[in-house]
Amino acid sequence: MVQLLQIDPMERVALQLLADGKSTSELAAVLHLSESDIDARLAALFTRMGVTTQREAAAECVKRGLLFASDAAHNASRTIADM
């Protein structure tokens, strides 16, 4: 059974962008955060997810049904504006 994972809207956007192959600098630009802040947030999120790499995080998100089905960049812009 998959354990429930609560993530906030910014984490959801970050995970989608990672799954789409975006870099830390690209995440920082979209989320309006520093690269070091992105690294710290991803490290904490990966620990909660029980993964160590972006590839593992993406696979775990698919398994848990956490990813958007449509274009990540479009959804990221809309989600950030709604925060």
Q: Give the pLDDT confidence of 2-41 residue by residue, as tens digits.
A: 456 788 889 888 988 888 889 999 999 999 999 999 999 9
Write the pLDDT tens digit of every residue in 46-74. Answer: 999 999 998 888 888 878 877 754 444 44
Residues near 72 by Cβ (< 8 Å), separated by ≥ 6? 13, 16, 17, 19, 20, 22
Write the pLDDT tens digit of every residue in 70-79. Answer: 444 444 455 4
Instruction: Give the Cα separation of 68 and 48 in Å (integer).
Output: 20
Burial of 1 (0-12, 13-18, 19+ CB in 10 A): exposed
* In the chain, where the domains are located: 9-82
CATH class of 9-82: mainly alpha
